[in-house]
Amino acid sequence: MLHVPLITPFDATGAVAYDALEALANEVLASGAAGIVALGTTAEPGSLSDSEKRTVVDLIAGVCVSRRAHLIVGAGVEHADATAALALVPPFVRPGEAGVIAYFDALAEASPVPLIIYHVPYRTGQPLSAAAIRRLAEIPGVVGMKYAPGGIDADTIALLADPPFQMLCGDDLFLAPMLALGAHGGILASAHIATAQFAELVSAPSRELGHRLARLSSALFAEPNPTVIKGVLHAQGRIPTPDVRLPLLPAAKSNLTLPLRESLASST
């Protein structure tokens, strides 16, 4: 399954461009995504007010309900129509594997919806062994993982050979090899661009398409996410500005040429 963690578009005044957000939600679902992540890290949630967050989630939920699509919400967000919540491994504090397991035990017990764990150790500072991930999969209410270890190592190969729960690729660049190893799909910011092709790759892995989309993903992550993605969406006329909020800065225009070219190549 393919899920797209939607950006938050802004208009020329700096306000959230809700019409553009609704259009994006409809576009990615119409193009083959199975669901949307609302207020994931790609959405710049730390820069949004509580009111903006509520409106964003309500809007995306309405689109998902009307299209019978999955709605995954960021951690700390509740919505009656949510299929699951995406919960980050505790960042910065590095509690150790036992602490991570205890944390998700408590979080899953309190959560009104199932949890998908977001494991991204190069951001959180907390590695997890294959054994620890299998222990997390035993927790009632934990149904999957957005898996973004930053590469493919022996633990990745062992996990994907016998996945303990839904393993969703979160490293866009490694989608094709992770699918080949046994991943069930992905939560991919790159899939804002060439959504239909990412959905095709998830449903029917192809070496040629995998190579093309890996090049696209590499170009889209040339600067901090989602700055290049927003620049490309703006250049395509799909959002009113390429703007982001601090601490992010807009992508350099020179970094938009390659992903625009790759997006055209991937759609042919």
Of 53, 118, 147, 230, which one is the catalytic site residue? Answer: 118
Residue listed under structure tokens 């934990």: 142
pLDDT at 266 over 90: no
pLDDT in tens, 154-207: 999 999 999 999 999 999 999 999 999 999 999 999 999 999 999 999 999 899
Separation between Cα atoms, residue 113 and residue 99, nearest integer Å:
22
pLDDT in tens, 37-92: 999 999 999 999 999 999 999 999 999 999 999 999 986 788 999 999 999 999 99
Residue 8 near residue 43 (C-beta atoms within 8 A) = yes
Does 243 map to a domain? no
Does 218 map to a domain? no
Does 230 map to a domain? no
Residue 158 near residue 106 (C-beta atoms within 8 A) = no
pTM of the model as a whole:
0.95
Please confirm, yes or no, whether 103 is among the known catalytic residues.
no
Backbone phi, psi, residue 85, to 5°: -115, 140
Which residues make beta-bridge pairs with 3? 35, 187
Does 229 map to a domain? no
Alpha helices in the chain (DSSP H): 18-30, 50-67, 96-110, 121-124, 130-137, 154-161, 175-181, 195-203, 207-220, 227-235, 257-266
Number of domains in the chain: 1
Does 265 map to a domain? no
Separation between Cα atoms, residue 188 and residue 172, nearest integer Å:
6
Q: Which domain, by its residues, includes 126?
A: 2-205
Q: How many other CB atoms are there within 10 angstroms of residue 151's CB atom?
A: 11
**Torsion angle in degrees (nearest 10) through CA of 200, 201, 205, 207:** 120
Of 53, 103, 146, 147, which one is the catalytic site residue? Answer: 146
The mean pLDDT of 3-18, rounded to a whole number, is: 98
Average pLDDT for the chain: 96
Please confirm, yes or no, whether 146 is among the known catalytic residues.
yes
Does 56 map to a domain? yes
Residue 21 near residue 43 (C-beta atoms within 8 A) = no
Q: Which amino acid is at 14?
A: G
Distances (CA, A) of 113 to 17, 79, 110: 28, 9, 9
Q: To 10 degrees, what angle do helices 207-220 and 257-266 make?
A: 160
Does 39 map to a domain? yes
pLDDT-derived band at 268 (thresholds 50, 70, 90) equals: low
CATH number at residue 140: 3.20.20.70
Separation between Cα atoms, residue 84 and residue 205, nearest integer Å:
26
The mean pLDDT of 86-112, rounded to a whole number, is: 97
Residues sharing a CB contact under 8 Å with residue 219, sequence separation 6 or more, in sequence order: 228, 255, 258, 259, 262
Does 59 map to a domain? yes
Q: Which amino acid is at 202?
A: V
